[in-house]
Amino acid sequence: MGIEGQASRGHGAPAVVTRQRIASSTRVLIGLAISALCLVLAFRNVPLDDLGGALAQANYWWLGPALVAQGLSILARTRRWQILLLDRVGFVELLWAQLVGFLGTNIFPLRAGEAARAVVVSRRARIPLVEVSASVLLERVLDVTTVLVLLVCLLPFMQVPAAAAAAGFALGVALGCTMFVLAILLLLGDRVDEVIARCARPLPARVGVMIVARSRDLLAGLDVVRHPRTLGRALVWSALTWAGSVANYWAVIEAVSPGATWFEPTFAVVAIAIGLSVPSSPGFVGVFQFLGQQALVAPFPERYSPASALSIALLTHTLYYVSTSAAGVLGLARLGLSLGALRPNGRGAAARSVGVA
241 or 279: which leads in pLDDT: 241
Residue 205 reports pLDDT greater than 50: yes
CA 122 to chain centre: 18
φ, ψ (nearest 5 deg) of residue 64: -65, -55
Q: Which of 13-17, 122-126, 232-236, 281-285 has the lowest mean pLDDT?
A: 13-17
Residue 297's nearest CA partner among 34, 44, 36, 73 is 44
Residue 155 reports pLDDT greater than 70: yes
Supply the pLDDT for residue 332: 92
Cα distance between residue 121 and residue 139, in whole Å: 15
Long-range contacts of 350-354 (CB under 8 A, 24+ apart): 350/116, 350/119, 350/120, 350/123, 351/119, 351/123, 354/120, 354/123, 354/124
Mean pLDDT of 285-299: 94
Q: Write the burial class of residue 333 (CB in 10 Å: 0-12 exposed, 13-18 middle, 19+ buried).
A: exposed
Cα distance between residue 305 and residue 297, in whole Å: 6
239 or 21: which leads in pLDDT: 239
DSSP states of 221-266: HTGGGG-HHHHHHHHHHHHHHHHHHHHHHHHHHHHHS----SHHHH
Distances (CA, A) of 106 to 97, 114, 329: 14, 11, 11
User: What are the residue ranges of helices labelled H in the chain?
Assistant: 2-43, 48-56, 63-84, 91-107, 112-125, 129-154, 162-188, 191-199, 205-221, 228-256, 263-275, 287-297, 306-335, 347-353
The whole-model pTM stands at 0.85
Supply the pLDDT for residue 182: 77
Confidence band for 90, pLDDT divided at 50, 70 and 90: very high
Cα distance between residue 66 and residue 69, in whole Å: 5
Supply the pLDDT for residue 347: 43
Q: Determine contact, residues 294/72, Cβ cutoff 8 Å.
A: no
Tally of CA atoms within 13 A in the half-sphere of 120 that contains its CB: 28
Reduce the DSSP state of residue 351 to 3 states and report it.
helix
Supply the pLDDT for residue 281: 77
Cα distance between residue 343 and residue 351, in whole Å: 12
- Report the chain's mean pLDDT, rounded to a whole number: 84
Residue 356 reports pLDDT greater than 50: no
Write down the domain spans for the chain. Answer: 49-353
Supply the pLDDT for residue 26: 73
Q: Which of 18-22, 29-33, 76-80, 337-341 has the lowest mean pLDDT?
A: 18-22
Which residues have a Cβ under 8 Å from the Cβ of 242 and sit 6 or more positions away? Answer: 73, 143, 146, 147, 150, 269
* Per-residue pLDDT tens over the stretch 12-67: 556 655 766 676 667 667 777 888 888 899 999 899 999 999 999 999 999 999 99
Supply the pLDDT for residue 15: 62
Q: Determine contact, residues 268/258, Cβ cutoff 8 Å.
A: no
Residue 342 reports pLDDT greater than 80: no
Supply the pLDDT for residue 207: 61
Confidence band for 344, pLDDT divided at 50, 70 and 90: low
CA 17 to chain centre: 27
Mean pLDDT of 178-204: 72
Q: Determine contact, residues 61/198, Cβ cutoff 8 Å.
A: no
φ, ψ (nearest 5 deg) of residue 308: -65, -40
